[in-house]
Structure 1
């Protein structure tokens, strides 16, 4: 009997332990289902929340709703499960957290000046039996800093290569970098992303290699940051690029019609970086005229002469390279009209031609009118000779036919 009692005493505790384990598992299962964000259509007491995304320094609004309430209070808790608000009562002394609305079915709070440490999961609870909860994930975006471009030299010689580096720190998630030449996007190397120590943010770096031409001189090379935390477009940094290149040269004459006996000059214009500072003038078919004087970029003629005709060359040097160009000088006779006067005569000639044409048209119209009326006159004149016995009578009838008619009237009377 004693042995049976011993076996029974050992069996009952084992059964109790198994029952307790099953009850604990069921409790955890129920708790997990109740604490999830899943909303039961047939449970009007289940809180409803939504996830939020906010940038550092911004304001986030947390809203919790239930369809019905049994006089239980709603409560918001932070990521550390510290109570923020229990109904209308503030539980945590943090002035950034403010109450917006508290009713039996709704609890709304705001968190201003959001920091990266505010990132995480917030809990809304209603203390019914059992307690029901819902979670809202707040994602805090780290705002990237303004990009910094390095690698620029004072100037790059035409045909050379330059490698530029763009860096932006503080983004979460990692930002994306874009390169631009003026307004045109150009491709750099893929971004390199590194996590920042002791912070949940990232530093992003991109490189761009350019082979420069003279067309790149003074172009704006820009690096722009693309990130969801930047509401008003991208952040960008622009730097002008300076390219050294040899000058391209042109000669500009004082006048297009240089006339004999007048003062005249040729100007040598060089476009280069840097601007050319040394100029050399030559005459292709011999020495410069005795009356021609070189003044840096100018070649002055005190009094033009037909002997000054020829091909003149200017060579400009800016220390990077040289450029040259030629110009043919043809001295005109003083009696040759200038271009503006020629234009005036052409206009006058055109006006005279139009007037002559209009007069011819008027003469033609007037002539046709006179010819038509002359024929009518001759026809009336011929009517008087139809019944005349001789020429004298015909003339009298043509000139005064009415008198004949009067005579006939008197005769019949």
Structure 2
């Protein structure tokens, strides 16, 4: 039985819901105070249903249901006198019809907000209805301001923001870097059904907070974008004082020494007073408002100076003790010394780079000489040694001052075709198409002693390269037997030449 009853109730609700859908209304209607609002109603898909009467009923947000308009095809129109909208409500059509019983309310007020029900009396299904919600909007009046506060440790209200006479209630938020907190918004319902919202910002103000930015932001449905109020916090505090300018280097006869009394406060300090601990101001000192100028430092300046500042909230002071020195401290040469050291380092780097370049260049020349028999890049040797070192002797030993090896000038050209042969005397010879005369040979020996020593040194260096494998093959005479001494012939200039060697 219980299950049957539950199913029956469910079917009844579904049937009533389907029937209620036949009364077509606007679910929500928005209006502003003073406007005329239209509430539409229409019965759809009547079919065999008979419409007897239509009524408009108001359900205020706070209050009882009240009939505000009734239409009966036989008895006509009726506007109850107890209606809160009497005199301002009427049917759109005159006369109205059951198919379109829409109404209008003129000069709507905030108290007109509520649910408006269009209800049909039908046969045989009974009453059917549709509900429209009238939402009244009121653009609020928004204001914000700061509160002048005095610096302290106790939190106080520093700024206020208010959105009054709005519908629905506005939303208030704060934007700031201050170290405070916003209070919970307070909402007040006004008699005209509007709402006023208030918010406050509290903090323990400090002198450093004076002039900082704080912004109140108000958001409301009637405004396309939030309204912002940018403000600056106002914090009053007694003066703050500091004397600057003393560098601990005041010496006798120093000129143009200054002390400055830096001060701050809100309200702005109006009085700045200079004095000394002894009570007497030195004659060489001139007071210029918050600045104390010493034209020439002497022993009378060797005292304590005091600066006192006042505003409406109080006073503050600072002091500095001057110690007059006998003479100026020596000028530091640290900068000059640093510059000299830097210059020396730079010179050493340049010299080192030059030495490295020269050594590297010399090494490249030596490597080229060892590999090719001549310095790298030179077109040809200045001295060409064809028959061994000047100090090569028999079996590779020195000849003790007897120069048995011909030395030739580098400018003597060789023909392009040279052939090696074996001299009958056992000496390796170099045959060429050009034969030098005795005069050429004598001229090659007419060198002074210094030039001969240079050539000897070059030959010694060549000999070292020959022995240690640094250079290429050197064409030189090689002894075949002991007849080498018989082959040599002394000349008038003291030199010795070979009888069989061919000089080129």
Gaps of 5+ in 2: 1-11, 48-53, 59-66, 71-86, 93-98, 375-380, 392-402, 419-429, 436-504
| 1:291 aligned residue (280, 284, 295) | 284
Could you say which residue in structure 2 is the equivalent of 1:399?
410
| 2:166 aligned residue (158, 163, 171) | 171
Match status 1:241 vs 2:234: yes
Q: CA deviation at 1:323?
A: 3.1
Distance 1:221 1:50, change over 3 A: same
Could you say which residue in structure 2 is the equivalent of 1:14?
none
Q: CA deviation at 1:374?
A: 4.5
Match status 1:367 vs 2:334: no
Contact 1:193 / 1:203 at 8 angstroms: preserved in 2? yes
CA distance in 2, matches of 1:356, 1:109: 106
- The RMSD of aligned alpha carbons is 5.9
Q: CA deviation at 1:311?
A: 7.5
Could you say which residue in structure 2 is the equivalent of 1:141?
137
Could you say which residue in structure 1 is the equivalent of 2:395?
none
Distance 1:371 1:268, change over 3 A: same
Q: CA deviation at 1:266?
A: 2.1
Could you say which residue in structure 1 is the equivalent of 2:431?
408
Secondary structure at 2:274 match in 1: strand
Could you say which residue in structure 2 is the equivalent of 1:24?
none
Could you say which residue in structure 2 is the equivalent of 1:89?
none
CA distance in 1, matches of 2:323, 2:203: 43
Q: CA deviation at 1:186?
A: 1.3
Could you say which residue in structure 2 is the equivalent of 1:51?
28
Could you say which residue in structure 2 is the equivalent of 1:12?
none
Secondary structure at 1:326 match in 2: strand
Gaps of 5+ in 1: 1-29, 84-92, 99-104
Contact 1:382 / 1:398 at 8 angstroms: preserved in 2? yes
Could you say which residue in structure 2 is the equivalent of 1:217?
210
1:278-317 alignment to 2 at 5 Å?
Answer: 278-282=272-276, 290-304=283-297, 313-317=305-309
Distance 1:108 1:364, change over 3 A: farther
Could you say which residue in structure 1 is the equivalent of 2:263?
270
Secondary structure at 1:373 match in 2: helix
Contact 1:149 / 1:167 at 8 angstroms: preserved in 2? no
CA distance in 1, matches of 2:352, 2:39: 95
Distance 1:309 1:278, change over 3 A: closer
Secondary structure at 1:387 match in 2: coil
1:91-114 Cα offsets, whole Å, 9 max, x none, are xx99xx99xxxxxx9999999997
Distance 1:268 1:180, change over 3 A: same
Match status 1:321 vs 2:327: no
Higher mean alpha-carbon deviation, 372-381 vs 133-142, is at: 372-381
CA distance in 2, matches of 1:296, 1:262: 20
CA distance in 2, matches of 1:389, 1:204: 118
CA distance in 2, matches of 1:256, 1:109: 95
Higher mean alpha-carbon deviation, 209-218 vs 258-267, is at: 258-267
Q: CA deviation at 1:232?
A: 1.6
CA distance in 2, matches of 1:234, 1:180: 13
| 1:121 aligned residue (79, 94, 115) | 115
Distance 1:44 1:375, change over 3 A: closer
TM-score, normalised by the number of residues in structure 2: 0.49
| 1:156 aligned residue (142, 145, 150) | 150
Greater gyration radius: 2
Task: Give the helix-richer structure, 1 or 2.
Answer: 1
1:288-335 Cα offsets, whole Å, 9 max, x none, are 654222333222122356x58867544332241313153767888599
Distance 1:281 1:346, change over 3 A: farther
Could you say which residue in structure 2 is the equivalent of 1:101?
none
Q: CA deviation at 1:278?
A: 2.1
Distance 1:395 1:337, change over 3 A: farther
Distance 1:310 1:388, change over 3 A: same
Distance 1:264 1:408, change over 3 A: same
Distance 1:395 1:281, change over 3 A: farther
Q: CA deviation at 1:269?
A: 0.9
CA distance in 2, matches of 1:333, 1:230: 72
| 1:202 aligned residue (195, 199, 204) | 195
Secondary structure at 2:356 match in 1: helix
1:204-240 Cα offsets, whole Å, 9 max, x none, are 4556654332123234566555554444225658463
Q: CA deviation at 1:249?
A: 1.4
Secondary structure at 1:137 match in 2: strand
Could you say which residue in structure 2 is the equivalent of 1:88?
none
- Aligned residues between the structures: 353
Contact 2:382 / 2:410 at 8 angstroms: preserved in 1? no
CA distance in 2, matches of 1:317, 1:44: 82
Distance 1:358 1:260, change over 3 A: farther
Contact 2:151 / 2:204 at 8 angstroms: preserved in 1? no
